[in-house]
Structure 1
Amino acid sequence: MDLGIQGKHAFICASSQGLGLACAQALAAEGVNVTLNGRHAEKLYEVAGTLRAAFPRQKIEYLAADLTSEADRARILASLPEIDILVTNNAGPQPGSLQAWHEQALRSAIEANFIPAVQLIRAWLPGMQTRGFGRIVNITSAMVKTPHYMMGLSTAARTALTAICKAISGEVAKDNVTINNLLPERIDTPRQEFMLQRLMSQEGIDRQAARQRNVQSIAARRYGTAEEFGAACAFLCSQQASFISGQNLQLDGGSYTGLV
């Protein structure tokens, strides 16, 4: 299927690895010009080189910037005054209980997983409306709909982003600008490796046992793949998805038990 987005320009937050990179790969495969983002220029240089080799017809650039820095966000916007597709993403807070949710922890969660996305949307959205095309995809978490105690900080910040984007989405749909959220759970990425190592340490079990325990918590009895996740992102960015906005798409192998 031709997704109708060849030649569009996408900025993908936190895309040097994991889910962000999966989205970059899927969009580049559809003919989208991609600007990668991360904090480490050396890593971005390597990843951009790999993508350029795989997709020689596409323009693959990168901007090393910390999304939590107002100055770095200003530098991103100065370099890219217009884009067609925005994929927001950032590493989540460390897992922890109520005793760890002190004021600075709460601020840090909001500063990482709410403010950067909102400010980038705020800057680029008017241009999307004027040109009559825009796709915004937020990588949030399955915890938005199924909160887990130890992930409370992540859940709170990402739910705030979900709420504000839902409020915006109805105002811009008439301009062919859509805003949707991808809610991953147990996608096989470095973040899941981190969670495995944490489980191994807590429970005193080896990696195979920890991974098997996680797999058993998934209805599909396997981890999701980064490629599956990237494909879902690419579709939400497509011309065919123009009538889908303000929605939460769960990528969890059928694990969510709710009705809506």
Structure 2
Amino acid sequence: MDLGLKGKSVLVTAASKGLGKASALEFAREGALVTIASRNLQELQKAAADIEEATGQKVHIAQMDVTRAEDIHHAVREAAVFGNGLDVLVTNAGGPPGGTFDDFTDETWVNAFELNLLSAVRLIRASLPYMREKGAGRIVTITSSSIKQPIPGLILSNTFRAGINGLTKSLSMELAEDNILINTVAPGRIATDRVAELDHLKAEQKGVPVEEVKAEAIAQIPLGRYGSPEEFGRAVVFLGSFANSYITGQAVLVDGGMVKAF
């Protein structure tokens, strides 16, 4: 299937590792002009080199802290210059700290809001003029399976990922007339550093080996394993492609069947 991405300009944020990097890699495989953005310049450079080696595609980098509005505008401009406009945006950000309601102050709540929800708002706002100028666009927001089933001990993430899902659904109605489609992709247990960190934290809290925590998680997944970042990235790329011409406002879970909610 031709995904219609060859020569298209794509910006993926938080893309120096994990789900963002995996998504950027799959866009590059399709011949897109990919810009990756993240805070750590060295990790960005390494990620770009890895993707270029795997695909033969030149990858542009833009150093960006998603909590800083000026950085967001810089990254979007960089992507537009590199790709002659902007066709596809993938909003991604690292997860806020784990914990329960009593663990967090107002400052922590505000920081999590800026990291996860406000960053998506700002990225979309900065990108829309470029997409409207082209007469079409695709936006994919990366959230979490918690949009369907809250995850214990991740109240900050549960709250703001759900907010991104609400934003996505609302914007699907507002942007349809501009031929801009927007969807969210929600990972379950994908084998990333973030999930490994959460597994270790849970193991420490329970006083058990991390292998026991992983086994408990896998027992809840009908496919019987954690997903790979590449499997997740392929879902992002299809929804962010121009082969997708009639799916908008949807939340697609990439979770091996873990979440039981409709």
Asked whether the two chains share a fold, i.e. TM above 0.5, the reply is: yes
Q: How far apart are the structure 2 equivalents of 1:204 and 1:120? A: 40
8 A Cα contact 2:5 2:242, kept in partner? yes
Q: Is the 8 A contact 1:5 1:239 kept in 2?
A: yes
1:163 aligns with 2:166: yes
Equivalent of residue 209 in structure 2, options 206, 210, 214: 206
1:100 aligns with 2:103: yes
**Which residue of structure 2 aligns with residue 61 of structure 1?**
60
Shift of 1:176: 2.1
Q: Name the SS for the 1:136 alignment partner.
A: strand
SS at match of 2:153: helix
Worse-matched range after superposition: 9-18 or 217-226: 217-226
Q: How far off its partner does 1:191 sit?
A: 0.8
What CA distance in whole angstroms lies between the structure 2 residues aligned with 1:80 and 1:254?
35
Name the Cα RMSD after superposition: 1.4
Is structure 2 residue 14 aligned with structure 1 residue 14?
A: yes
Query: 155-164 vs 7-16, which deviates more?
Result: 155-164
Q: Secondary structure at the match of 1:76?
A: helix
Matched, 1:218 2:221: yes
Residues 5-47 of structure 1: per-residue CA shift (max 9 Å, x gap): 1110111010011100110011111111111111111111111
The structural deviation recorded for 1:125 is 1.1
**One-letter amino acid of the counterpart of residue 60, structure 2:** E
Structure 1 position 203, deviation (Å)? 2.0
Between the aligned residues of both structures, percent identity stands at: 36
CA shift, 1:129, in A, is 2.2
Cα drift, residue 132 of structure 1: 2.0
Asked if 1:29 corresponds to 2:29, the answer is yes
CA drift at 1:48? 0.8
Q: Are 1:63 and 1:76, in contact at CA under 8 Å, matched by a contact in 2?
A: yes
Cα shift at 1:114: 0.7
1:123 and 2:126 aligned: yes
Q: Secondary structure at the match of 1:127?
A: helix
1:85 to 75, 85, 88: 88
- Decide whether the 8 Å contact of 2:37 with 2:75 is kept in 1: no
Which residue of structure 1 aligns with residue 42 of structure 2?
Answer: 42
Q: Summarize deviations over 1:202-222 as a string: whole Å, max 9, x none.
A: 122223222212211222211
Normalised TM-score (structure 2)? 0.94
Shift of 1:83: 1.2
Residue in 1 aligned with 2:146? 143
Letter aligned with residue 76 of structure 1: A
Contact 1:129 1:172 in 2 (8 A): no
Q: Which runs of 5+ in 2 are unaligned?
A: none
SS in 2 for 1:154: helix
Deviation at 1:126, TM superposition (A): 2.7
CA distance in 2, matches of 1:79, 1:255: 38
For 1:175, the aligned partner's letter is: D
Read off the aligned partner of 1:69 and give its amino acid letter: R
The alignment status of 1:76 with 2:79, answered yes or no, reads no
Deviation at 1:174, TM superposition (A): 2.9
Residue identity opposite 2:129 in structure 1: P
SS at 1:114 equivalent: helix
What is the count of residue pairs matched by the alignment?
258
User: Unmatched 5+ residue regions in structure 1?
Assistant: none
Equivalent AA in structure 1 for residue 179 of structure 2: N
Residues 210-258 of structure 1: per-residue CA shift (max 9 Å, x gap)? 2212211222211011111011011102222110001000111112212
Contact 1:12/1:24 (CA < 8 Å) preserved in 2?
A: yes
Partner of 1:148, secondary structure, is coil
**TM value normalised by structure 1:** 0.94
Q: How far did residue 149 of structure 1 move?
A: 3.7
- 1:182 deviation in Å? 0.5
- 1:170 is displaced (CA, Å) by 1.1
Whether the aligned pair in 1 keeps the contact of 2:23 and 2:234 (CA below 8 Å) is yes
